Structure 1
Protein backbone atom coordinates (compact mmCIF):
# COMPACT_ATOMS: atom_id res chain seq x y z
CA UNK A 1 0.00 0.00 0.00
CA UNK A 2 2.90 2.33 0.77
CA UNK A 3 3.91 2.45 -2.89
CA UNK A 4 0.45 3.43 -4.15
CA UNK A 5 0.82 7.16 -3.51
CA UNK A 6 4.24 7.50 -5.22
CA UNK A 7 2.89 5.52 -8.18
CA UNK A 8 -0.08 7.86 -8.36
CA UNK A 9 2.19 10.90 -8.28
CA UNK A 10 4.38 9.41 -11.01
CA UNK A 11 1.35 9.06 -13.27
CA UNK A 12 0.89 12.87 -13.41
CA UNK A 13 -2.58 12.63 -11.82
CA UNK A 14 -3.78 16.19 -12.44
CA UNK A 15 -3.60 16.14 -16.26
CA UNK A 16 -4.72 12.49 -16.26
CA UNK A 17 -7.85 13.36 -14.31
CA UNK A 18 -8.51 16.53 -16.32
CA UNK A 19 -8.17 14.92 -19.77
CA UNK A 20 -10.26 11.93 -18.69
CA UNK A 21 -12.96 14.25 -17.37
CA UNK A 22 -13.04 16.07 -20.73
CA UNK A 23 -13.57 12.75 -22.54
CA UNK A 24 -16.31 11.67 -20.15
CA UNK A 25 -18.16 14.99 -20.32
CA UNK A 26 -18.03 15.04 -24.12
CA UNK A 27 -19.28 11.44 -24.25
CA UNK A 28 -22.20 12.31 -22.01
CA UNK A 29 -22.97 15.38 -24.10
CA UNK A 30 -23.10 13.17 -27.20
CA UNK A 31 -25.66 10.90 -25.50
CA UNK A 32 -23.48 7.83 -25.45
CA UNK A 33 -24.90 5.04 -23.27
CA UNK A 34 -23.29 4.44 -19.89
CA UNK A 35 -21.17 1.60 -21.22
CA UNK A 36 -19.84 3.82 -24.01
CA UNK A 37 -19.03 6.63 -21.58
CA UNK A 38 -17.13 4.21 -19.34
CA UNK A 39 -15.28 2.70 -22.31
CA UNK A 40 -14.20 6.12 -23.59
CA UNK A 41 -13.13 7.29 -20.14
CA UNK A 42 -11.21 4.08 -19.45
CA UNK A 43 -9.31 4.29 -22.75
CA UNK A 44 -8.31 7.90 -22.15
CA UNK A 45 -7.35 7.22 -18.52
CA UNK A 46 -5.18 4.25 -19.55
CA UNK A 47 -3.41 6.38 -22.14
CA UNK A 48 -2.79 9.17 -19.63
CA UNK A 49 -1.41 6.77 -17.04
CA UNK A 50 0.90 5.26 -19.64
CA UNK A 51 2.16 8.66 -20.79
CA UNK A 52 2.85 9.82 -17.23
CA UNK A 53 4.61 6.67 -16.09
CA UNK A 54 6.73 6.37 -19.23
CA UNK A 55 7.68 10.03 -18.96
CA UNK A 56 8.91 9.67 -15.37
CA UNK A 57 10.75 6.44 -16.18
CA UNK A 58 12.60 8.02 -19.12
CA UNK A 59 13.36 11.26 -17.26
CA UNK A 60 14.47 9.63 -13.98
CA UNK A 61 18.18 10.44 -14.33
CA UNK A 62 17.53 13.98 -15.55
CA UNK A 63 15.03 14.62 -12.75
CA UNK A 64 17.44 13.26 -10.14
CA UNK A 65 20.25 15.48 -11.44
CA UNK A 66 17.90 18.48 -11.22
CA UNK A 67 16.98 17.62 -7.62
CA UNK A 68 13.32 17.03 -8.44
CA UNK A 69 12.13 15.79 -5.04
CA UNK A 70 8.54 16.01 -6.32
CA UNK A 71 9.28 13.17 -8.78
CA UNK A 72 8.83 9.82 -6.95
CA UNK A 73 11.18 7.89 -9.25
CA UNK A 74 13.94 10.48 -9.04
CA UNK A 75 13.47 10.69 -5.25
CA UNK A 76 13.80 6.91 -4.92
CA UNK A 77 10.27 6.40 -3.59
CA UNK A 78 9.38 3.94 -6.35
CA UNK A 79 11.56 1.96 -8.73
CA UNK A 80 12.15 3.12 -12.27
CA UNK A 81 11.62 -0.44 -13.53
CA UNK A 82 8.19 -0.73 -11.89
CA UNK A 83 7.02 2.57 -13.35
CA UNK A 84 8.30 1.61 -16.81
CA UNK A 85 6.52 -1.77 -16.67
CA UNK A 86 3.26 -0.16 -15.55
CA UNK A 87 3.56 2.38 -18.36
CA UNK A 88 3.92 -0.42 -20.90
CA UNK A 89 0.98 -2.33 -19.40
CA UNK A 90 -1.24 0.76 -19.45
CA UNK A 91 -0.33 1.35 -23.11
CA UNK A 92 -1.17 -2.26 -23.97
CA UNK A 93 -4.52 -1.98 -22.19
CA UNK A 94 -5.34 1.36 -23.81
CA UNK A 95 -5.37 -0.04 -27.35
CA UNK A 96 -8.19 -2.62 -26.96
CA UNK A 97 -10.12 -0.21 -24.74
CA UNK A 98 -10.04 2.33 -27.56
CA UNK A 99 -11.49 -0.18 -30.04
CA UNK A 100 -14.51 -0.69 -27.76
CA UNK A 101 -15.70 2.62 -29.23
CA UNK A 102 -15.43 1.33 -32.83
CA UNK A 103 -12.57 0.72 -35.21
CA UNK A 104 -12.25 4.34 -36.35
CA UNK A 105 -12.21 5.64 -32.79
CA UNK A 106 -9.78 2.87 -31.85
CA UNK A 107 -7.32 3.90 -34.54
CA UNK A 108 -7.52 7.52 -33.43
CA UNK A 109 -7.00 6.49 -29.81
CA UNK A 110 -3.91 4.49 -30.80
CA UNK A 111 -2.61 7.48 -32.79
CA UNK A 112 -3.08 9.77 -29.78
CA UNK A 113 -1.19 7.36 -27.53
CA UNK A 114 1.62 6.83 -30.02
CA UNK A 115 1.99 10.56 -30.59
CA UNK A 116 2.19 11.29 -26.87
CA UNK A 117 4.76 8.55 -26.29
CA UNK A 118 6.85 9.99 -29.12
CA UNK A 119 6.91 13.22 -27.11
CA UNK A 120 8.34 11.33 -24.14
CA UNK A 121 11.04 10.09 -26.53
CA UNK A 122 12.56 11.41 -28.75
CA UNK A 123 10.64 14.59 -29.68
CA UNK A 124 10.74 16.27 -26.27
CA UNK A 125 14.23 17.61 -26.96
CA UNK A 126 13.57 18.81 -30.50
CA UNK A 127 11.97 21.81 -32.17
CA UNK A 128 9.05 19.51 -33.03
CA UNK A 129 8.16 19.02 -29.35
CA UNK A 130 4.83 20.82 -29.78
CA UNK A 131 3.64 18.43 -32.50
CA UNK A 132 2.72 15.48 -30.23
CA UNK A 133 0.71 17.76 -27.95
CA UNK A 134 -1.19 19.25 -30.88
CA UNK A 135 -1.80 15.85 -32.49
CA UNK A 136 -2.87 14.04 -29.31
CA UNK A 137 -5.20 16.84 -28.19
CA UNK A 138 -6.71 16.94 -31.67
CA UNK A 139 -7.29 13.20 -31.43
CA UNK A 140 -9.12 13.49 -28.11
CA UNK A 141 -12.38 15.05 -29.40
CA UNK A 142 -12.05 13.03 -32.61
CA UNK A 143 -11.95 9.81 -30.59
CA UNK A 144 -14.98 10.75 -28.51
CA UNK A 145 -17.08 11.98 -31.44
CA UNK A 146 -16.24 8.99 -33.64
CA UNK A 147 -17.10 6.71 -30.74
CA UNK A 148 -20.54 8.28 -30.68
CA UNK A 149 -21.00 7.43 -34.36
CA UNK A 150 -20.61 11.02 -35.59
CA UNK A 151 -18.11 12.90 -37.73
CA UNK A 152 -15.89 15.34 -35.82
CA UNK A 153 -16.11 18.85 -37.32
CA UNK A 154 -12.94 20.71 -38.22
CA UNK A 155 -13.58 23.49 -35.71
CA UNK A 156 -13.67 21.01 -32.83
CA UNK A 157 -10.44 19.40 -33.99
CA UNK A 158 -8.85 22.85 -34.32
CA UNK A 159 -9.90 23.72 -30.77
CA UNK A 160 -8.28 20.53 -29.49
CA UNK A 161 -5.05 21.17 -31.37
CA UNK A 162 -4.83 24.78 -30.20
CA UNK A 163 -5.45 23.76 -26.60
CA UNK A 164 -2.81 21.05 -26.81
CA UNK A 165 -0.20 23.35 -28.31
CA UNK A 166 -0.89 25.97 -25.65
CA UNK A 167 -0.72 23.33 -22.92
CA UNK A 168 2.75 22.33 -24.11
CA UNK A 169 4.15 25.83 -23.75
CA UNK A 170 2.60 26.19 -20.29
CA UNK A 171 3.59 22.74 -19.04
CA UNK A 172 7.28 23.37 -19.64
CA UNK A 173 7.44 26.72 -17.83
CA UNK A 174 8.35 25.41 -14.33
CA UNK A 175 11.16 23.25 -15.77
CA UNK A 176 12.71 25.70 -18.25
CA UNK A 177 15.85 26.38 -16.22
CA UNK A 178 16.43 22.72 -15.34
CA UNK A 179 15.76 21.70 -18.94
CA UNK A 180 18.33 24.16 -20.22
CA UNK A 181 20.95 22.77 -17.82
CA UNK A 182 20.20 19.17 -18.84
CA UNK A 183 20.24 19.86 -22.57
CA UNK A 184 16.49 19.62 -23.31
CA UNK A 185 15.89 21.95 -26.25
CA UNK A 186 12.25 21.63 -27.15
CA UNK A 187 10.34 24.46 -28.79
CA UNK A 188 9.42 26.22 -25.51
CA UNK A 189 13.06 26.17 -24.40
CA UNK A 190 13.99 27.79 -27.71
CA UNK A 191 11.26 30.40 -27.27
CA UNK A 192 12.25 31.17 -23.69
CA UNK A 193 9.93 32.07 -20.84
CA UNK A 194 8.50 35.24 -22.39
CA UNK A 195 8.07 33.66 -25.80
CA UNK A 196 6.34 30.61 -24.32
CA UNK A 197 3.99 32.79 -22.31
CA UNK A 198 3.18 34.82 -25.42
CA UNK A 199 2.49 31.65 -27.44
CA UNK A 200 0.23 30.26 -24.73
CA UNK A 201 -1.58 33.59 -24.39
CA UNK A 202 -2.51 33.39 -28.08
CA UNK A 203 -3.20 29.66 -28.42
CA UNK A 204 -5.38 29.05 -25.35
CA UNK A 205 -7.98 31.82 -25.91
CA UNK A 206 -7.97 30.84 -29.60
CA UNK A 207 -9.13 27.36 -28.59
CA UNK A 208 -12.14 28.84 -26.79
CA UNK A 209 -12.82 31.13 -29.76
CA UNK A 210 -12.78 28.14 -32.13
CA UNK A 211 -15.56 26.53 -30.11
CA UNK A 212 -17.61 29.72 -30.29
CA UNK A 213 -17.07 30.82 -33.90
CA UNK A 214 -16.55 27.44 -35.53
CA UNK A 215 -20.15 26.18 -35.57
CA UNK A 216 -22.57 27.88 -37.98
CA UNK A 217 -24.44 30.90 -36.71
CA UNK A 218 -23.48 33.62 -34.24
CA UNK A 219 -21.42 32.66 -31.18
CA UNK A 220 -23.51 31.63 -28.14
CA UNK A 221 -24.13 34.28 -25.50
CA UNK A 222 -22.17 32.17 -23.01
CA UNK A 223 -18.99 32.59 -25.06
CA UNK A 224 -18.05 35.85 -23.39
CA UNK A 225 -18.51 34.61 -19.79
CA UNK A 226 -16.61 31.42 -20.70
CA UNK A 227 -13.78 33.44 -22.22
CA UNK A 228 -13.73 35.74 -19.20
CA UNK A 229 -13.53 32.87 -16.72
CA UNK A 230 -10.81 31.22 -18.82
CA UNK A 231 -8.75 34.42 -18.82
CA UNK A 232 -9.18 34.73 -15.05
CA UNK A 233 -7.96 31.15 -14.60
CA UNK A 234 -4.95 31.77 -16.82
CA UNK A 235 -4.18 35.06 -15.07
CA UNK A 236 -4.20 33.25 -11.73
CA UNK A 237 -1.73 30.73 -13.13
CA UNK A 238 0.58 33.46 -14.44
CA UNK A 239 0.37 35.29 -11.08
CA UNK A 240 1.36 32.17 -9.15
CA UNK A 241 4.22 31.49 -11.54
CA UNK A 242 5.55 35.03 -11.14
CA UNK A 243 5.74 34.36 -7.39
CA UNK A 244 7.29 30.93 -7.89
CA UNK A 245 8.78 30.02 -11.27
CA UNK A 246 8.53 26.30 -10.44
CA UNK A 247 4.80 26.46 -9.68
CA UNK A 248 2.51 24.05 -11.54
CA UNK A 249 -0.36 26.54 -11.24
CA UNK A 250 -0.21 27.62 -14.93
CA UNK A 251 -0.73 24.04 -16.12
CA UNK A 252 -3.56 23.52 -13.64
CA UNK A 253 -5.09 26.68 -15.10
CA UNK A 254 -4.90 25.12 -18.58
CA UNK A 255 -6.75 22.05 -17.31
CA UNK A 256 -9.38 24.39 -15.86
CA UNK A 257 -9.68 26.13 -19.24
CA UNK A 258 -10.22 22.78 -20.97
CA UNK A 259 -13.01 21.89 -18.57
CA UNK A 260 -14.54 25.37 -18.90
CA UNK A 261 -14.50 24.99 -22.68
CA UNK A 262 -16.24 21.61 -22.52
CA UNK A 263 -18.91 22.85 -20.10
CA UNK A 264 -19.46 25.91 -22.31
CA UNK A 265 -19.78 23.64 -25.34
CA UNK A 266 -22.28 21.34 -23.66
CA UNK A 267 -24.42 24.12 -22.16
CA UNK A 268 -24.49 25.98 -25.47
CA UNK A 269 -25.58 22.85 -27.29
CA UNK A 270 -23.18 20.43 -28.95
CA UNK A 271 -23.83 21.33 -32.57
CA UNK A 272 -21.50 19.21 -34.67
CA UNK A 273 -22.53 20.61 -38.05
Structure 2
Protein backbone atom coordinates (compact mmCIF):
# COMPACT_ATOMS: atom_id res chain seq x y z
CA UNK A 1 0.00 0.00 0.00
CA UNK A 2 2.83 2.41 0.83
CA UNK A 3 4.40 1.80 -2.59
CA UNK A 4 1.05 2.44 -4.30
CA UNK A 5 0.64 5.71 -2.40
CA UNK A 6 4.18 6.74 -3.29
CA UNK A 7 3.56 5.97 -6.96
CA UNK A 8 0.39 8.04 -6.85
CA UNK A 9 2.24 10.97 -5.31
CA UNK A 10 5.03 10.67 -7.88
CA UNK A 11 2.47 10.97 -10.67
CA UNK A 12 1.58 14.55 -9.64
CA UNK A 13 -2.05 13.58 -8.97
CA UNK A 14 -3.55 17.07 -8.56
CA UNK A 15 -2.67 18.42 -12.03
CA UNK A 16 -3.33 15.00 -13.56
CA UNK A 17 -6.85 14.97 -12.14
CA UNK A 18 -7.49 18.61 -13.02
CA UNK A 19 -6.31 18.39 -16.64
CA UNK A 20 -8.23 15.15 -17.15
CA UNK A 21 -11.36 16.79 -15.75
CA UNK A 22 -10.96 19.64 -18.25
CA UNK A 23 -10.80 17.15 -21.14
CA UNK A 24 -13.85 15.23 -19.90
CA UNK A 25 -15.93 18.38 -19.38
CA UNK A 26 -15.05 19.71 -22.84
CA UNK A 27 -15.91 16.34 -24.39
CA UNK A 28 -19.28 16.33 -22.66
CA UNK A 29 -19.91 19.91 -23.78
CA UNK A 30 -19.27 18.85 -27.38
CA UNK A 31 -21.84 16.04 -27.06
CA UNK A 32 -19.38 13.22 -27.63
CA UNK A 33 -20.90 9.79 -26.90
CA UNK A 34 -19.90 8.12 -23.65
CA UNK A 35 -17.21 5.87 -25.25
CA UNK A 36 -15.67 8.97 -26.84
CA UNK A 37 -15.66 10.84 -23.53
CA UNK A 38 -14.01 7.86 -21.83
CA UNK A 39 -11.41 7.59 -24.62
CA UNK A 40 -10.55 11.28 -24.38
CA UNK A 41 -10.30 11.16 -20.57
CA UNK A 42 -8.17 8.00 -20.64
CA UNK A 43 -5.80 9.51 -23.20
CA UNK A 44 -5.25 12.68 -21.20
CA UNK A 45 -4.90 10.76 -17.93
CA UNK A 46 -2.29 8.43 -19.43
CA UNK A 47 -0.32 11.40 -20.76
CA UNK A 48 -0.44 13.17 -17.40
CA UNK A 49 0.71 10.07 -15.54
CA UNK A 50 3.59 9.63 -17.99
CA UNK A 51 4.68 13.25 -17.66
CA UNK A 52 4.57 13.16 -13.85
CA UNK A 53 6.42 9.86 -13.47
CA UNK A 54 9.11 10.71 -16.03
CA UNK A 55 9.60 14.10 -14.39
CA UNK A 56 10.18 12.62 -10.94
CA UNK A 57 12.48 9.90 -12.30
CA UNK A 58 14.63 12.41 -14.17
CA UNK A 59 14.72 14.89 -11.27
CA UNK A 60 15.44 12.31 -8.52
CA UNK A 61 19.06 13.33 -7.93
CA UNK A 62 18.28 17.05 -8.04
CA UNK A 63 15.30 16.62 -5.71
CA UNK A 64 17.42 14.61 -3.27
CA UNK A 65 20.14 17.29 -3.32
CA UNK A 66 17.49 19.93 -2.62
CA UNK A 67 16.12 17.92 0.34
CA UNK A 68 12.73 17.31 -1.29
CA UNK A 69 11.35 14.79 1.19
CA UNK A 70 7.91 15.24 -0.39
CA UNK A 71 9.17 13.54 -3.55
CA UNK A 72 8.82 9.74 -3.12
CA UNK A 73 11.66 8.85 -5.50
CA UNK A 74 14.09 11.36 -3.99
CA UNK A 75 13.10 10.23 -0.49
CA UNK A 76 13.81 6.58 -1.37
CA UNK A 77 10.21 5.47 -0.85
CA UNK A 78 9.91 4.01 -4.33
CA UNK A 79 12.39 2.83 -6.94
CA UNK A 80 13.51 5.33 -9.56
CA UNK A 81 13.60 2.51 -12.13
CA UNK A 82 10.01 1.53 -11.35
CA UNK A 83 8.75 5.11 -11.71
CA UNK A 84 10.68 5.59 -14.96
CA UNK A 85 9.31 2.31 -16.32
CA UNK A 86 5.76 3.29 -15.47
CA UNK A 87 6.29 6.66 -17.14
CA UNK A 88 7.43 4.99 -20.35
CA UNK A 89 4.57 2.46 -20.19
CA UNK A 90 2.00 5.23 -19.73
CA UNK A 91 3.45 7.09 -22.74
CA UNK A 92 3.24 3.94 -24.87
CA UNK A 93 -0.40 3.41 -23.84
CA UNK A 94 -1.28 7.07 -24.41
CA UNK A 95 -0.45 7.06 -28.13
CA UNK A 96 -2.94 4.40 -29.32
CA UNK A 97 -5.56 5.73 -26.89
CA UNK A 98 -5.30 9.11 -28.63
CA UNK A 99 -6.06 7.57 -32.02
CA UNK A 100 -9.36 6.24 -30.68
CA UNK A 101 -10.55 9.84 -31.14
CA UNK A 102 -9.51 9.91 -34.80
CA UNK A 103 -6.29 10.35 -36.76
CA UNK A 104 -6.07 14.12 -36.43
CA UNK A 105 -6.83 14.04 -32.72
CA UNK A 106 -4.35 11.19 -32.22
CA UNK A 107 -1.55 13.14 -33.89
CA UNK A 108 -2.30 16.20 -31.75
CA UNK A 109 -2.33 14.04 -28.62
CA UNK A 110 1.06 12.57 -29.54
CA UNK A 111 2.41 16.09 -30.14
CA UNK A 112 1.17 17.21 -26.72
CA UNK A 113 2.85 14.25 -25.03
CA UNK A 114 6.13 14.71 -26.91
CA UNK A 115 6.19 18.42 -26.10
CA UNK A 116 5.59 17.79 -22.38
CA UNK A 117 8.28 15.10 -22.22
CA UNK A 118 10.71 17.46 -23.95
CA UNK A 119 10.06 19.86 -21.09
CA UNK A 120 11.04 17.17 -18.59
CA UNK A 121 14.30 16.90 -20.56
CA UNK A 122 16.05 18.93 -21.85
CA UNK A 123 14.02 22.16 -22.18
CA UNK A 124 13.27 22.70 -18.48
CA UNK A 125 16.70 24.29 -17.95
CA UNK A 126 16.59 26.56 -21.00
CA UNK A 127 15.21 29.98 -21.86
CA UNK A 128 12.45 28.32 -23.94
CA UNK A 129 11.15 26.31 -20.97
CA UNK A 130 7.73 27.93 -21.35
CA UNK A 131 7.28 26.66 -24.91
CA UNK A 132 6.34 23.02 -24.10
CA UNK A 133 3.70 24.18 -21.62
CA UNK A 134 2.16 26.54 -24.19
CA UNK A 135 2.20 23.89 -26.93
CA UNK A 136 0.84 21.04 -24.79
CA UNK A 137 -1.94 23.12 -23.25
CA UNK A 138 -2.96 24.43 -26.67
CA UNK A 139 -3.06 20.83 -27.89
CA UNK A 140 -5.48 19.82 -25.12
CA UNK A 141 -8.59 21.63 -26.44
CA UNK A 142 -7.46 20.90 -30.00
CA UNK A 143 -7.41 17.17 -29.23
CA UNK A 144 -10.86 17.25 -27.65
CA UNK A 145 -12.46 19.36 -30.37
CA UNK A 146 -10.92 17.33 -33.20
CA UNK A 147 -12.11 14.16 -31.47
CA UNK A 148 -15.64 15.54 -31.65
CA UNK A 149 -15.29 16.01 -35.41
CA UNK A 150 -15.00 19.81 -35.27
CA UNK A 151 -12.28 22.34 -36.08
CA UNK A 152 -10.72 24.07 -33.06
CA UNK A 153 -10.91 27.87 -33.39
CA UNK A 154 -7.80 29.99 -32.98
CA UNK A 155 -9.11 31.74 -29.88
CA UNK A 156 -9.53 28.42 -28.07
CA UNK A 157 -5.97 27.38 -28.93
CA UNK A 158 -4.71 30.80 -27.79
CA UNK A 159 -6.54 30.45 -24.48
CA UNK A 160 -4.98 27.02 -23.93
CA UNK A 161 -1.49 28.30 -24.76
CA UNK A 162 -1.87 31.29 -22.42
CA UNK A 163 -3.15 29.06 -19.64
CA UNK A 164 -0.25 26.66 -20.11
CA UNK A 165 2.35 29.42 -20.15
CA UNK A 166 0.88 30.87 -16.96
CA UNK A 167 0.84 27.43 -15.37
CA UNK A 168 4.56 27.06 -16.11
CA UNK A 169 5.47 30.23 -14.22
CA UNK A 170 3.27 29.24 -11.29
CA UNK A 171 4.41 25.62 -11.12
CA UNK A 172 8.05 26.61 -10.70
CA UNK A 173 7.48 29.02 -7.79
CA UNK A 174 7.77 26.53 -4.89
CA UNK A 175 11.03 25.11 -6.30
CA UNK A 176 12.50 28.36 -7.61
CA UNK A 177 15.38 28.71 -5.13
CA UNK A 178 16.25 25.00 -5.22
CA UNK A 179 16.18 25.05 -9.03
CA UNK A 180 18.67 27.91 -9.16
CA UNK A 181 20.98 26.13 -6.70
CA UNK A 182 20.93 22.95 -8.80
CA UNK A 183 21.55 24.65 -12.13
CA UNK A 184 18.04 24.94 -13.59
CA UNK A 185 17.82 28.22 -15.49
CA UNK A 186 14.48 28.14 -17.25
CA UNK A 187 12.52 31.29 -18.02
CA UNK A 188 10.85 31.59 -14.57
CA UNK A 189 14.22 31.26 -12.82
CA UNK A 190 15.52 34.09 -15.01
CA UNK A 191 12.44 36.22 -14.24
CA UNK A 192 12.69 35.66 -10.49
CA UNK A 193 9.81 35.17 -8.05
CA UNK A 194 8.20 38.59 -8.46
CA UNK A 195 8.57 38.62 -12.25
CA UNK A 196 7.12 35.12 -12.50
CA UNK A 197 4.11 36.11 -10.40
CA UNK A 198 3.41 39.10 -12.65
CA UNK A 199 3.88 37.03 -15.82
CA UNK A 200 1.60 34.27 -14.51
CA UNK A 201 -1.17 36.69 -13.53
CA UNK A 202 -1.12 38.43 -16.93
CA UNK A 203 -1.10 35.15 -18.86
CA UNK A 204 -3.85 33.49 -16.82
CA UNK A 205 -6.18 36.46 -16.97
CA UNK A 206 -5.38 36.71 -20.68
CA UNK A 207 -6.58 33.12 -21.09
CA UNK A 208 -9.90 33.96 -19.42
CA UNK A 209 -10.27 37.07 -21.61
CA UNK A 210 -9.53 35.03 -24.77
CA UNK A 211 -12.36 32.64 -23.92
CA UNK A 212 -14.75 35.55 -23.39
CA UNK A 213 -13.74 37.77 -26.29
CA UNK A 214 -12.72 35.13 -28.84
CA UNK A 215 -16.14 33.76 -29.85
CA UNK A 216 -18.22 35.93 -32.19
CA UNK A 217 -20.62 38.37 -30.57
CA UNK A 218 -20.44 40.22 -27.26
CA UNK A 219 -18.97 38.48 -24.19
CA UNK A 220 -21.44 36.27 -22.35
CA UNK A 221 -22.97 37.83 -19.25
CA UNK A 222 -21.28 35.14 -17.14
CA UNK A 223 -17.84 36.43 -18.14
CA UNK A 224 -17.65 38.82 -15.20
CA UNK A 225 -18.56 36.24 -12.53
CA UNK A 226 -16.08 33.82 -14.14
CA UNK A 227 -13.39 36.51 -14.11
CA UNK A 228 -14.20 37.31 -10.48
CA UNK A 229 -13.90 33.66 -9.46
CA UNK A 230 -10.61 33.38 -11.34
CA UNK A 231 -9.26 36.42 -9.49
CA UNK A 232 -10.36 34.95 -6.16
CA UNK A 233 -8.67 31.62 -6.94
CA UNK A 234 -5.44 33.32 -8.00
CA UNK A 235 -5.47 35.63 -4.97
CA UNK A 236 -5.85 32.62 -2.68
CA UNK A 237 -2.91 30.95 -4.38
CA UNK A 238 -0.71 34.03 -4.06
CA UNK A 239 -1.74 34.45 -0.40
CA UNK A 240 -0.76 30.86 0.39
CA UNK A 241 2.52 31.35 -1.47
CA UNK A 242 3.36 34.41 0.61
CA UNK A 243 2.81 32.40 3.78
CA UNK A 244 4.76 29.40 2.54
CA UNK A 245 7.06 29.72 -0.48
CA UNK A 246 7.02 25.94 -0.98
CA UNK A 247 3.21 25.78 -1.17
CA UNK A 248 1.59 24.17 -4.22
CA UNK A 249 -1.48 26.35 -3.73
CA UNK A 250 -0.72 28.67 -6.69
CA UNK A 251 -0.61 25.73 -9.11
CA UNK A 252 -3.85 24.35 -7.68
CA UNK A 253 -5.29 27.84 -8.25
CA UNK A 254 -4.28 27.56 -11.92
CA UNK A 255 -6.16 24.26 -12.21
CA UNK A 256 -9.15 25.94 -10.55
CA UNK A 257 -8.98 28.78 -13.11
CA UNK A 258 -8.91 26.23 -15.94
CA UNK A 259 -11.99 24.47 -14.57
CA UNK A 260 -13.76 27.81 -14.02
CA UNK A 261 -13.02 28.77 -17.63
CA UNK A 262 -14.33 25.44 -18.97
CA UNK A 263 -17.52 25.65 -16.92
CA UNK A 264 -17.97 29.25 -18.11
CA UNK A 265 -17.61 28.05 -21.72
CA UNK A 266 -20.08 25.23 -21.28
CA UNK A 267 -22.73 27.28 -19.48
CA UNK A 268 -22.39 30.13 -21.96
CA UNK A 269 -22.63 27.76 -24.93
CA UNK A 270 -19.57 26.28 -26.62
CA UNK A 271 -19.58 28.41 -29.78
CA UNK A 272 -16.74 27.12 -31.96
CA UNK A 273 -17.46 29.29 -34.98
TM-score by length of 1: 1.00
**1:236 lines up with 2:236 in the alignment:** yes
Counterpart of 1:179 in structure 2 is: 179
After superposition, give the CA deviation of every residue in 1:111-153 in whole Å (9 maximum; x if it has no partner): 0000000000000000000000000000000000000000000
Give the Cα–Cα distance (whole angstroms) in 2 for the partners of residues 254 and 194 of structure 1: 17
Counterpart of 1:109 in structure 2 is: 109
After superposition, give the CA deviation of every residue in 1:84-121 in whole Å (9 maximum; x if it has no partner): 00000000000000000000000000000000000000
Counterpart of 1:80 in structure 2 is: 80
Counterparts of residues 1-273 of structure 1 (less than 5 Å) = 1-273=1-273
SS in 2 for 1:152: coil
Give the Cα–Cα distance (whole angstroms) in 2 for the partners of residues 130 and 205 of structure 1: 17
Instruction: After TM superposition, give the deviation of residue 202 of structure 1 in Å.
Output: 0.4
Give the Cα–Cα distance (whole angstroms) in 2 for the partners of residues 22 and 65 of structure 1: 35
SS in 1 for 2:218: coil
Instruction: After TM superposition, give the deviation of residue 2 of structure 1 in Å.
Output: 2.7
Instruction: After TM superposition, give the deviation of residue 201 of structure 1 in Å.
Output: 1.0
SS in 2 for 1:3: helix
Q: Is there any run of 5+ residues in structure 1 with no aligned partner, and where?
A: none
Give the Cα–Cα distance (whole angstroms) in 2 for the partners of residues 256 and 76 of structure 1: 31
Q: Is there any run of 5+ residues in structure 2 with no aligned partner, and where?
A: none
SS in 1 for 2:205: helix
Give the Cα–Cα distance (whole angstroms) in 1 for the partners of residues 31 and 229 of structure 2: 27
Runs of 4 or more, structure 1, over 6 Å off, are none
TM-score by length of 2: 1.00
Give the Cα–Cα distance (whole angstroms) in 2 for the partners of residues 87 and 240 of structure 1: 31
Give the Cα–Cα distance (whole angstroms) in 2 for the partners of residues 219 and 176 of structure 1: 37
Instruction: After TM superposition, give the deviation of residue 162 of structure 1 in Å.
Output: 0.2
Give the Cα–Cα distance (whole angstroms) in 2 for the partners of residues 139 and 148 of structure 1: 14
